[in-house]
Amino acid sequence: MYYIGISAYYHESSVFLTDNKGTSCFLKKESFTRIKGDKNFPHRCLKFLINTFDLKDENIKFISFYEKPFKSWWEIFYYSIKNPWQNKDFLIHHLKNFNNGSIFFYTDIRKIIDISRNKIIYSSHHLSHCLYGLSVVKNISDYVYITCDGVGEGETMSIYTIDNKYKIKKIWTNFYPNSIGLFYSTITDFLGFEINEGEFKVMSLSSFGKPTYKNQLKEVFNINDFKINMDYFAFHKNLSKSFSKKLINILGDPYLNINLDENLKKYADIASSAQVILEETMENLVKKAIQMSGKKKIVLTGGVALNCKMIHNLSKLNIFEELIVPPSPGDSGSAIGASNFAYLNENKDKTLNLNSIFLGPKKEIINKKNNKNDLFLKINLTDEFITEAANKLIDGEIITSYYGLTEVGPRSLGNTSIFCDAKNKNSVSNLNINIKKREHFQPLAPILLEEDFQKYFSINSSIVKNLEWMGTLCDANKELYKNYSSIIHVDGTCRTQIIKDEHSITYKLLKELKKQGSEILVNTSFNISKDPVVFDLFDVYVNMRRLNIKFVLMDDGFYQTKDI
Ligand SMILES: [Fe+2]
């Protein structure tokens, strides 16, 4: 029997299916529609699952939605009607969108599959985050579970515990609009970056600045009691702007051209100040969770947990024994949490254990109808095709990877990546500036074998687990500066990924690379800026042509794009 979780309507829409007997399939709607962050109901993901797993009413145990639709709608509405005239545009929009949201989830499901109503169940927003976190750790009662995001069902921060009988208890909550996530998103908007995408840019930019606006921003968000000062914001009443004139009064003009040096310096200082506010808030939240639960092991979920600089800096305070951020802590990963809610609903004393960054689907399932040979030419001259790919990397080529199961979460973790030799400064620069066209202040991420990690990097052992999926930063050692300086961020950190699985192609590729004198690859997501990561072979072909990359390493060989 299958347990299916769905996250949709507000952030990137996703679906997860499992039977907890080894079958798992995580899909994002954006993979099918090619619209990054597509949040609409995931019809095509469900159709894919129906075709692949022959889904019908009889073999589905539950379909679980990641939150309670009416509660989610009502909580924002309820806040807005406290000041109906001030918030009237927002209110009218909210009322008009009643019909377009998750309230009609069951109707949307029935358009795709004929399923009994009693098989549709609803988790709650923060509980889904928490239940995804539960699925990535063993000894679940050893941990306290913190969720921190923009807002979900009117909640912005939650702390949960779970006992050995699988009883989950919410022990503390903070409520909308008091949201450190919305505070950080507002700064993202202020600096001219896109909300839900640009937060990573703010984090990178912060390393170039000094927190000169920290005291002013402490008036905007109180790091001690987690209260927001709404005088500085407009997201509760304005559909196109998240901040008010009062924020402009303390930070100056918004949306300046960041390519001018004087603006870059100023905006880096604002980003640095916002980052400090975020980090000090999270420090206090973690301390509160430890104090309330008596547990010093933490699982952190919610979109805020994607701020890996914050994770790294928190670890330096030595206030916890362990902190784990699962690979997809945002709303997309909550599809997995929702399926865990369904599983727990049925089994009562068991939860899913999904300690993997690759939750599918397999590339051959995705490409049932695509013929690889129509688009690509196999070019390896021997069976040692991974060695031949390593040779190309050493020669300075940039290559892509497309093998194994698909990654869960926002980052390409080797199976669907673009690689270059991190030792080769020209390749690194070409990849960052000409191919990926990233902002000059955004660093590229390194990937290496676990056995080589300590030679080049340092990290507090409490967060080391997160290195398997780029969930944290770590510090560069002197050895890294000798040959790999082009991948080190201005603050001496890297968003490193380690590879442990000896059977994976990425592991074998790194081993071959090592034999030829380089131990680190640059690993960046296999997409064009503002597009989703590639999904099927056709996406691979089109993206490679557009990016002007010739070579792709697949499960069964090393290929080159054909001229068609
Ligand atoms: Fe959330």
Please state the rounded mean pLDDT for residues 546-553.
96
Tell me the torsion sign for CA atoms 140, 144, 150, 156: positive
Average pLDDT for the chain:
93
Please provide the size of the chain in residues: 564
**Whole-angstrom distance, CA of residue 219 vs CA of residue 211:** 14
**Whole-angstrom distance, CA of residue 292 vs CA of residue 159:** 9
**Whole-angstrom distance, CA of residue 350 vs CA of residue 368:** 35
Which residues sit opposite 378 in a β-bridge?
559
Cα of 406 vs centre of ligand 1, distance in Å, is 23
Residue 448: in which H helix or E strand, if any?
Answer: strand 445-449
pLDDT at residue 348, rounded to an integer = 85
- What is the number of alpha carbons within 13 Å of residue 471 lying toward its C-beta? 28
Cα of 24 vs centre of ligand 1, distance in Å, is 22
Cβ atoms < 10 Å from Cβ of 198: 18
Please state the rounded mean pLDDT for residues 114-118.
93
Please state the rounded mean pLDDT for residues 179-202.
94
**Whole-angstrom distance, CA of residue 470 vs CA of residue 499:** 11
Contact 54, 23 (CB under 8 A): no
Cα of 443 vs centre of ligand 1, distance in Å, is 27
Cα of 306 vs centre of ligand 1, distance in Å, is 12
Tens digits of residue pLDDT in 428-475: 999 988 888 888 788 899 999 999 999 999 999 999 999 999 999 999
Residue 175: in which H helix or E strand, if any?
Answer: strand 168-175
* Least confident segment among 319-333, 340-354, 477-491, 539-553: 340-354
Cα of 128 vs centre of ligand 1, distance in Å, is 9
pLDDT at residue 21, rounded to an integer = 84
Cα of 66 vs centre of ligand 1, distance in Å, is 9
Strand order in the sheet with 474-476: 457-458, 474-476, 493-494
Cα of 383 vs centre of ligand 1, distance in Å, is 46
- DSSP designation for 302: S
Cα of 148 vs centre of ligand 1, distance in Å, is 7
Cα of 337 vs centre of ligand 1, distance in Å, is 11
Tell me the torsion sign for CA atoms 548, 554, 559, 563: negative
Cα of 358 vs centre of ligand 1, distance in Å, is 22
Cα of 99 vs centre of ligand 1, distance in Å, is 21
> Can you list the pairs that 33-39 forms with residues at least 24 positions away whose Cβ atoms lie under 8 Å?
34/531, 34/532, 34/539, 35/532, 36/12, 36/197, 36/530, 36/531, 36/532, 37/11, 37/12, 37/196, 37/197, 38/12, 38/13, 38/532, 39/8, 39/9, 39/10, 39/11, 39/12, 39/13
Decide: helix, strand or coil at residue 298: strand
Cα of 477 vs centre of ligand 1, distance in Å, is 35
Decide: helix, strand or coil at residue 82: coil
Residue with tokens 């589905």: 60
Strand order in the sheet with 120-122: 24-28, 14-18, 2-7, 60-65, 120-122
User: In the structure, what pLDDT confidence band is assigned to residue 99 with cuts at 50, 70 and 90?
Assistant: low
**Residue type for position 422:** A
Cα of 102 vs centre of ligand 1, distance in Å, is 15
Cα of 510 vs centre of ligand 1, distance in Å, is 36
Cα of 547 vs centre of ligand 1, distance in Å, is 33
User: In the structure, what pLDDT confidence band is assigned to residue 15 with cuts at 50, 70 and 90?
Assistant: very high
Cα of 426 vs centre of ligand 1, distance in Å, is 40
Cα of 9 vs centre of ligand 1, distance in Å, is 12
Cα of 188 vs centre of ligand 1, distance in Å, is 18
pLDDT at residue 197, rounded to an integer = 84
User: In the structure, what pLDDT confidence band is assigned to residue 102 with cuts at 50, 70 and 90?
Assistant: confident
pLDDT at residue 298, rounded to an integer = 98
Cα of 129 vs centre of ligand 1, distance in Å, is 7
Please state the rounded mean pLDDT for residues 285-306.
98
pLDDT at 96 over 80: no
Cα of 428 vs centre of ligand 1, distance in Å, is 34
Strand order in the sheet with 557-561: 376-378, 557-561, 551-554, 399-402, 417-421, 521-525, 445-449, 497-499
Cα of 330 vs centre of ligand 1, distance in Å, is 6
User: In the structure, what pLDDT confidence band is assigned to residue 94 with cuts at 50, 70 and 90?
Assistant: low
Cα of 366 vs centre of ligand 1, distance in Å, is 28
Cα of 548 vs centre of ligand 1, distance in Å, is 37
| Separation in Å, CA 542 to CA 175, 364, 425, 546, 563 | 45, 18, 27, 6, 11
pLDDT at 295 over 90: yes
DSSP 351-413: ------SEEEEEHHHHTTT--HHHHEEE--SSS-HHHHHHHHHHTT--EEEE-SEEEPSSS--
Q: Which of the pair, 342 or 238, is modelled with greater confidence?
A: 342
Cα of 212 vs centre of ligand 1, distance in Å, is 30
Tens digits of residue pLDDT in 49-76: 999 999 999 999 999 999 987 777 777 7
Cα of 133 vs centre of ligand 1, distance in Å, is 13
pTM: 0.94
pLDDT at 306 over 90: yes
Cα of 98 vs centre of ligand 1, distance in Å, is 20
Cα of 47 vs centre of ligand 1, distance in Å, is 25
